[in-house]
Amino acid sequence: MDVLKLIKQRSTTRHYTNKPISQTALKKILEAGIWGPALHHFQPWKFVIIKDVALIKKINRMVEKKLEDINTPTFLLYPTIKTMANSKLLICVYNTKDFTRIIERFNKEYFKKAELAEISAIAAAIQNMLLEAENLGIGTCWLDMPLFCREEINKLLKIKDEMVAVLTLGYPLSKGKRSPRKKNTVVTIS
């Protein structure tokens, strides 16, 4: 498929059917992620897959409680909770910090740049996965609100790395609309 067409066609999906995601489709989505660009060949990502719907609901309840506890306005809380509640699979995305652990020994400026590079590479891997999912007709939503309770989620999942995103997946019941693109975001210096 035309890549630009795919990029424009992808939109956040918040309503999913009950159809499960096959292992073959999941493998392709993860492959798209792990073939993302990475700083100095470090691949600082880890993907934790949750297929158990009961566990997804348990995590969702933990996130909802946390967001209520910190007085998150409902207009910010509900889209996350409702999307996760009906999703069929989660990809929890982690930063293993393999690069920054080494760079820590160098100067502070270098460390700050390395931190940004790790997050940037992981964001690129996420976008790759969203696009491959779209290519396979699978809907996705990129969530960061669950990060408010990443310690609790890590404890539950017995993971020690730093969570940077949760992706919800499922076959779309309905698709979201893209917002119009902002003007003047490109500056050409000639």
Ligand X SMILES: Cc1cc2nc3c(=O)[nH]c(=O)nc-3n(C[C@H](O)[C@H](O)[C@H](O)COP(=O)(O)O)c2cc1C
Which of residues 101, 144, 151, 156 is near ligand X by CB under 6 A? 144
Q: Which span (42-50, 60-68, 88-96, 140-148) binds ligand X, by CB under 6 A?
A: 140-148
Interface with ligand X includes 143 (CB under 6 A)? yes
Interface with ligand X includes 20 (CB under 6 A)? no
Residue with tokens 């798209």: 32
Which of residues 80, 87, 100, 128 is near ligand X by CB under 6 A? 80
Interface with ligand X includes 176 (CB under 6 A)? yes
Q: Which span (42-50, 57-65, 135-143, 180-188) binds ligand X, by CB under 6 A?
A: 135-143
Interface with ligand X includes 87 (CB under 6 A)? no
Interface with ligand X includes 29 (CB under 6 A)? no
Q: Which of residues 93-132 bind ligand X (CB under 6 A)?
A: none
Smallest gap from residue 13 Cβ to ligand X (A): 8
Per-residue HEC secondary structure of the chain comes to: CCHHHHHHHCCECCEECCCCCCHHHHHHHHHHHHCCCCHHHCCCEEEEEECCHHHHHHHHHHHHHHHHHCCCCHHHHHHHHHHHHCCCEEEEEEECCHHHHHHCCCCHHHHHHHHHHHHHHHHHHHHHHHHHHHHCCCEEEEECHHHHHHHHHHHHHCCCCEEEEEEEEECEEECCCCCCCCCCCCCCCC
Nearer to ligand X, 103 or 139 (CB): 139
CA dist 188 and 154 (Å) reads 44
CA dist 32 and 1 (Å) reads 15
Interface with ligand X includes 8 (CB under 6 A)? no
Interface with ligand X includes 38 (CB under 6 A)? no
Nearer to ligand X, 39 or 119 (CB): 119
Interface with ligand X includes 171 (CB under 6 A)? no
Interface with ligand X includes 79 (CB under 6 A)? yes
Token output for 167: 């992706």
Q: Interface residues with ligand X (CB under 6 A)?
A: 11-12, 79-80, 83, 141-145, 176, 178
